[in-house]
Amino acid sequence: MKPLKHTLLLLITIISFTSCDFLDDYTGGPTPDKKPLIIAHRGAQSLLPEHTLQGYVKAIELGADFIEPDLVLTKDGHLVVRHEPMLSGTTNVADLPEFTNLKTTKELDGKMVTDWFAIDFTLAQIKTLKARQAFGSRPKDFDDQFDIPTFEEVILLAKKQSIKGGKTIGIYPEIKHPLFHNNFFGTHVMENKLLYTLKKAGLNRKNAPVFVQCFEVEPLQYINSKSPVKLVQLISTYNINKDGSLDYNVPSGDFISYGSPFDFYSNGDSRTYEFFTTEEGMKFTATYADGIGPWKPFIISYKTEESGELTLLPATDFISLAHKNNLLVHPYTFRNENTQWSGGNPEREYHLFFDAGVDGLFTDYTDEAVKALETWRD
């Protein structure tokens, strides 16, 4: 009886697990009752070290609809979850003498950077590192306790948490600097690794609870040609001018990707991210993507008065243009520490952007975003 009972339990577990995407009609837009999505930016980043399994679990407990893993490649070709290819800002790598010789200088999106790069570490070596809080003003109580997860581990966690909580938890991976990584591995290797992992997990389909995002353009176009998975074009700007206009001019020696898609720049294309704010740019984006992910001032900017006081400007036509071209809009990043929009009242900031018509947003403070959504709907 015991072997039979064990077999039956195993079969039930497998059936439950493989059918964990139980909302088969899920589209990844606003939730079924039209609420904007709450996307946990790098996990529960305000409480725990970012991009850790523990942080993702916490974000889900706080009410996130999606969790965001940023993806970089290891030396032996594994997708691991870090905000950047550089490791010193979010791990204890600098304290480990066995890795002293792996500190190098590389060019990343036009800037020379000296650090420890994930691309020089095997997965086994990455697994000896521990995560640290990236923000100096946030709790460091859990530094050096949590491992660096792989993309596969995050997918598995999302599936298990979906079953446990009875709510589909989506994943929102960002492929970081694919041109940089593919210069080491070969054309489209990073994109193919992503597609392989999604397919293996049963998530390489249009109605899967998945968005793939990137600041570069060609990698998304490539993925679109190979997969029906939902895609989001990220856009940024270097600075906000005093009058509230956006400045795309990146000083020499800084990251070109602050103002332009790096693949555009590398191919001699002079278009900046400003292009994506135009009717032409939105139509272009809609040929390969399902959504667009702007920094907040693309939607609501602010001007700096002579006194230094900040004045919020009316919402731009960004969202209406995006929606006209059937693009979802998911702005980033909502942080209590950034008071330009909130004036010290985060709920007010969330309400501003919900009123503007966003389809979802990235937040470091998932619980506050969830509460603000509830009060906005009331």
Residues assigned a catalytic role: 41, 83
* Closest to 83 (Cα-Cα) out of 133, 122, 30: 133
Q: Residues 243, 303: contact at Cβ < 8 Å? A: yes
CA distance 236 to 217: 13
Handedness of CA 24, 30, 35, 39 (dihedral sign): positive
Paired sense of beta strands 111-116 and 103-108, if any: antiparallel
User: CA-CA distance, 154 to 88, in Å (whole number)?
Assistant: 22
Give long-range contacts, CB 8 A cutoff, 24+ apart: 273-277: 273/235, 273/236, 273/237, 273/248, 274/237, 274/246, 274/248, 276/233, 276/235, 277/235, 277/316, 277/318, 277/321
- Which tokens belong to 262? 């790096």
**Residues forming beta bridges with residue 169, ordered by sequence position:** none
CB of 50 closer than 8 Å to CB of 363: no
Two tokens, residue 266 = 């590398």
* Distance (Å, whole) CA 211 – CA 362: 13
On the 0-12 / 13-18 / 19+ scale of CB atoms within 10 A, 214 is buried
Burial class (CB in 10 A: 0-12, 13-18, 19+), 326: exposed
